[in-house]
Amino acid sequence: MTLRVGTAVVAAVLAFASLSLTAADATTAFLQTHYYILPLGPMSVDMDSLRQAAQTAGLSVIVYDGDLAQAFRGDSTAASDVETALSDPQLLVIDGDRFLLREIGEHFTFTVRPSDGSYELVIDPHQDQQIADALGSVLGSMQSLGILGNEVSLSIQAYAKDDLKGPTPPDDAALESTLYSLTIARDWFEYAVTKQLTLVGLRVEVVAEMVTDASLEELFLPYVVEQTDGLVKLSLPIDRLLALARSNAVGYLRTPYHPSVP
């Protein structure tokens, strides 16, 4: 089921408040013990306008042009340190035609990020939160920046924060469990640091083990870094990991091997 949003924000919030949550014993609350992922649908956003709106609102902004990045804090025209900006409570990351918005509040953190050709909302409660209260605040923030999608899917996936092993990858996706866990991690940047993944903007360094005599689909070619017999190294958008792992040309998708130092 989906709801049109924009003028129907209140209706969407009320509808969300009545949902049953997957993997959590709650129907009206986001629990502190879990984090939640909600589909938002496709978004068509002018990145320059989004950047300007975010800076005017006082957010820190990081803009990637390939592997190069510039960071700005609030409406200042002076460049800031990228690593410092990544830890700021209100952050917008723009990487080509993708963006990630994160706001760390007193009661919860929310993130809007790409998800396989679409976008999703991640809610990370710092304490138990009523769904209607949390989503009312989030949707208001999103609307103020002009980034609300055309529709909101009334489905919520819940993940336990203390589940260190994490869910297994889908049967139809041949990829390393670490990479799958990255796609559903509550914080991509934090997870990448803990697992020593190489992130550049909203992309992660991966290696595709190719099926014999197979070639990558054209849509993945812009992300190729280097290629040898049977192996392709890519700097791939995180939201495209599952799509590549499901490709008939790929036997297995993994993180690069790094030689250990004796």
In 3-state terms the chain splits into helix, strand, coil percentages (rounded to 5) of 25, 35, 40
Q: Same domain for 157 and 195?
A: no
- Residue 220 — φ and ψ, nearest 5°? -95, -10
The verdict on 60 and 146 lying in the same domain is yes
pTM: 0.88
pLDDT at residue 258 above 90?
no
Task: State the chain's mean pLDDT as an integer.
Answer: 87
User: How many residues can be counted in the chain?
Assistant: 262
pLDDT of residue 5: 40
pLDDT at 150 over 90: no
Q: For residue 261, what pLDDT is reported?
A: 53
Domain holding 132, by residue range, is: 1-162
The answer to whether residue 260 sits within a structural domain is: no
133 & 94 share domain: yes
Last residue of some domain: 133, 162, 191? Answer: 162
Q: How many domains does the chain have?
A: 2
In a domain, 261, yes or no: no
Neighbouring residues of 193: CB distance < 8 A, sequence distance ≥ 6 = none
Write down the pLDDT at residue 59. 96
Q: Read off the pLDDT band of 3 (50, 70, 90).
A: very low
Residues 188 and 246 in one domain: yes
CA gyration radius, the chain: 19
Q: Where are the beta strands (DSSP E) in the chain?
A: 2-4, 29-30, 34-41, 60-65, 68-73, 79-80, 90-95, 98-104, 108-115, 118-125, 129-130, 151-153, 157-160, 199-200, 203-210, 224-228, 231-237, 250-254
Instruction: Determine, yes or no, domain membership for 52.
Output: yes
Residues 22 and 59 in one domain: yes
CA 72 and chain centroid, separation: 21
Q: For residue range 105-117, what is the model confidence (pLDDT) as tens digits?
A: 999 999 999 999 8
